[in-house]
Structure 1
Amino acid sequence: MGVLQSEEDLNVICLIPSLITIKFQDFFSPKAEKLICGTTSSKFAAVCCMTASGPAFWGLINPEWSLCNKGRRQSPVNLEPNKLLFDPNLRPLHIDKHRVSGSISNTGHSVIFTVDNDTRHHINVTGGPLSYKYQFQEIHIHYGLHDQFGSEHSINGYAFPAEIQIFGFNSQLYSNFSEALHKAQGIVVISLLLQLGDLSNPELRILTDQLDKIKYGGEEIEVKRLSVRGLLPETDYYMTYDGSTTMPACHETVTWLILNKPIYITKQQMHALRKLMQGDAKHPKAPLGNNFRPPQPLYHRPVRTNIDFNVKHPGVNGKQCPSMYKDVYYKANSWKQH
């Protein structure tokens, strides 16, 4: 309970989005700087969430989950290009490069990599919009049973086949992940949107190579020497906003960063993900996929970006200086694999 159920389990009619053919190189780019190849106005339509245990009912099932229905800083969201706010004070994001070991598990709701608690060298996340140091804790994988949807965040209505979320907790204010989860500025999540390609990210392969060993809910396998930094695409650009966890209790304690390029996943890897089941070997239940929450209202929250539009405004003594502004012009780039 607590995840969007698969299509086989649905007893109501659901709207499934048609395939959007426009793809992206950088998700957004300044109109003045980069080639603009097209846009899409299609709205994201999630797999139906109207089952009695689906996201629309989380706040009704358990009073402790009331934020899921009543909160005004919920995640995920649809990122709209024309509402991005350039912030010149946003710094580059930094993640330690060393490798860590841990375990990957099929929880029956999601695929999660958890770092070993006794690791000697923690991976720290700093910079970006963060005022504190955050310690890497786990990785979640959300994906769809079809290529047209699966990511939790969408861009101008376009959903990706999958999304990887890298979780860290505020290690300067809190002693562990559980404590930070419901405390102010407790959690950072770095979102990587996944696009289909012929070659996948090498670190992603370390995780997906273990999927045949965790086919059923409750199964877990050890993973050695994973580079979290190596999962990230080659870009310094990102979007950021204040939001929540995308699972109950929907704590509004998360600083989100969505990187401005996807990483690649092959069709074979997606097939391996889609073979995972919610239940055990005797009672496999339904496929694990479609484990994503639909986009939530922004309620006028700003979504900031460090992508510089190279627009200058008159400053002191005639000098030109950047400033925060909302007059931005973004369109989706056509996708070209490099």
Structure 2
Amino acid sequence: MCECVSRITTPPWVVILLAVHATISRILCLTPAARAQQEIDDESEFSYDCGAENGPENWGKIKEEWAMCGTGRMQSPIDLSDRHAAQAPNLGYLNHSYLPAEASIVNRGHDIAVTFQGGAGSLWINGTAYHLRQVHLHSPSEHHLNGRQYSLEIHMVHLSAENKAAVIGRLYKIGRRDHFRHKLEPYLRRMADMKEKDEKVGVVDPWEARGDGQAYYRYMGSLTTPACDEGVIWTVIKRLPTLLRC
């Protein structure tokens, strides 16, 4: 699921604040978002194939309501570059609290999503609670870090009471086993060739997917699939966990 280079940039609108806490760095940029969980479920309408008629560089031309994909000024994903980061020492630790909850998993074509049926906890940003709705996986990663793309990226999608969005992103590199992905491994393998089939997976603990809250990048961006709605608060964990090679 590659992204065209034209969508992986560090554009001039990005204000990335790099906070330093306990000698560890992180980054910020804030704003609200709409329709965060309404990603397109039918991948046949768009693709990740660079140069294709329905590829990323053409998403904004496919439908009128997707125009933001081509004209938006705050589009995600981006290359998170430390050279463009400004320090923000007062950010503090990432404020989140998660609970195990019943969940189901589905291959939506452009990603595999774990959706929670009950309350799975929340993320707090500037006094606003954003409630965890789903976790989905992209391979390879959508965001780049200092010009490098990684093996996998997990997105934890949260919505506020006003339907504003905040997403935690976590990039993985090849290495030892990750507990969250390892628990879902049997379902991920089974769902690989079963698009749009929903399967219950029992109780899933999102705490295992959250990442290290001491160091993170934060910026204001968009959804990474059509209609590319802007106003999403992105928090990308700076510390890279490792992923066991299959």
TM-score normalised according to structure 1 size: 0.57
Aligned length: 208
Distance in 2, matches of 1:29 and 1:138, equals 27
Distance in 2, matches of 1:252 and 1:203, equals 29
Distance in 2, matches of 1:108 and 1:53, equals 15
2:173 is matched with 195
Does the alignment pair 1:138 with 2:134? Answer: yes
What are the superposed Cα offsets for residues 124-147 of structure 1, whole Å, 9 maximum, x if unpaired?
1114xx44110001111110xxxx
1:238-257 aligned at under 5 Å gives the runs: 238-257=216-235
Q: Secondary structure at the match of 1:96?
A: strand
TM-aligned CA deviation for residue 4 of structure 1: 5.8
Is the alpha carbon distance of 1:192 and 1:56 closer, same or farther for their aligned partners in structure 2, counting shifts above 3 Å?
same
Gaps of 5+ in 1: 6-13, 16-27, 35-46, 144-149, 175-179, 181-185, 269-338
Is the alpha carbon distance of 1:103 and 1:159 closer, same or farther for their aligned partners in structure 2, counting shifts above 3 Å?
same
Greater C-alpha Rg: 1
What are the superposed Cα offsets for residues 252-299 of structure 1, whole Å, 9 maximum, x if unpaired?
02000011112222111xxxxxxxxxxxxxxxxxxxxxxxxxxxxxxx
CA RMSD of aligned residues (A): 2.4
Distance in 2, matches of 1:265 and 1:157, equals 20
Which of 176, 181, 187 aligns to 1:210? It is 187
Q: Is the 8 A contact 1:241 1:257 kept in 2?
A: yes
Whichever residue aligns with residue 61 of structure 2, its letter is: L
Is the alpha carbon distance of 1:106 and 1:170 closer, same or farther for their aligned partners in structure 2, counting shifts above 3 Å?
same
TM-aligned CA deviation for residue 108 of structure 1: 2.1
TM-score normalised according to structure 2 size: 0.77
Structure 1 outlier segments of 4+, above 3 Å:
none
Is the alpha carbon distance of 1:235 and 1:169 closer, same or farther for their aligned partners in structure 2, counting shifts above 3 Å?
closer
TM-aligned CA deviation for residue 48 of structure 1: 5.0
1:1-338 aligned at under 5 Å gives the runs: 49-116=50-117, 119=118, 121-127=119-125, 130-143=126-139, 150-171=140-161, 174=162, 180=163, 186-197=164-175, 199-214=176-191, 215-268=193-246
Structure 1 or 2: larger strand share?
2
